């Protein structure tokens, strides 16, 4: 299991908290920044994590901004990315089970740190249900038609 993780300043503290947990649990990750509370632009970090996930070196990505909204919108602009803004264990489970999300987005100002750990654990242990693939195929087709 290897995770690509990144945030803006609004998600920095939650990112650092999750990294401590990953270190403790010996879960492998690469951190794509940001590296301080200094104000930065969330699209830059959503893009970095999205591009990392597309290399297939990672099982999934985690992006964090203040709410998770902006950085999930940004990550979803990268072709092949299905970034899901998740806010509890149920949405984390469904993001994998139904949507096969390859990135989850969290809100540094809206998600409690302990809840974030539960969310990540549920996402990691849940399996995608193949019966939903036909909907994902339609999303893929939408991406392809935008290229035409
Ligand atoms: C930055 O202040 C904030 O706008 C950003 O972290 C995020 O919440 C945007 O969606």
User: pLDDT means per 10 residues in the chain (148 residues)?
Assistant: 98 98 98 98 98 98 98 98 98 98 98 98 98 97 85
Predicted pLDDT at 146: 76
Question: From ligand 1's centre to the CA of 74, what distance in Å?
Answer: 12
Cα 27 to Cα 81: distance, rounded to the nearest angstrom: 22
Question: From ligand 1's centre to the CA of 12, what distance in Å?
Answer: 11
Predicted pLDDT at 132: 97
On whether the CB atoms of residues 32 and 48 are closer than 8 A, the answer is: yes
Radius of gyration of the chain (CA): 14
Q: How far apart are the first and last CA of the chain?
A: 36
Residue 32 CA, chain-centre distance (Å), reads 12
* pTM for this predicted structure: 0.97
Cα 116 to Cα 5: distance, rounded to the nearest angstrom: 13
Q: Is 70 in the pocket of ligand 1 (CB under 6 A)?
A: yes
Q: Catalytic residue numbers?
A: 65, 98
Cα 124 to Cα 101: distance, rounded to the nearest angstrom: 11
Predicted pLDDT at 148: 67
Name the domain count of the chain: 1
Predicted pLDDT at 138: 97
User: Considering only CA atoms, which residue is closest to atom 5 of ligand 1?
Assistant: 66
Q: At what angle do helices 89-97 and 113-125 cross, to 10 degrees?
A: 30
Q: Is 66 in the pocket of ligand 1 (CB under 6 A)?
A: yes
Q: Is 10 in the pocket of ligand 1 (CB under 6 A)?
A: yes
CATH code, domain with 133: 3.40.1400.10
Cα 66 to Cα 80: distance, rounded to the nearest angstrom: 24
Question: From ligand 1's centre to the CA of 109, what distance in Å?
Answer: 9
For residue 99, give its domain range. 2-146
Testing ligand 1's pocket by substitution, the residue of 14, 33, 70, 108 carrying the most ligand atoms inside 8 A of its CB is 70
């Amino acid at each position: 299991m290897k995770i690509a993780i990144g945030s803006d300043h609004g998600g920095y503290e939650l990112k650092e908290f999750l990294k401590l947990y990953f270190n403790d649990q010996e879960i492998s990750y690469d951190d794509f920044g940001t590296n301080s509370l200094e104000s930065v632009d969330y699209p830059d970090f959503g893009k970095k994590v999205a591009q990392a996930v597309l290399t297939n070196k990672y099982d999934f990505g985690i992006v964090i901004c203040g709410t998770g909204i902006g950085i999930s919108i940004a990550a979803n602009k990268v072709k092949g990315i299905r970034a899901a803004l998740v806010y509890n264990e149920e949405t984390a489970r469904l993001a994998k089970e139904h949507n096969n999300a390859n990135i989850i987005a969290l809100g540094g100002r809206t998600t409690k740190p302990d809840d974030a750990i539960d969310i990540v654990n549920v996402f990691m242990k849940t399996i995608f249900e193949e019966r939903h693939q036909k909907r994902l195929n339609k999303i893929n087709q939408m991406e392809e038609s935008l290229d035409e």
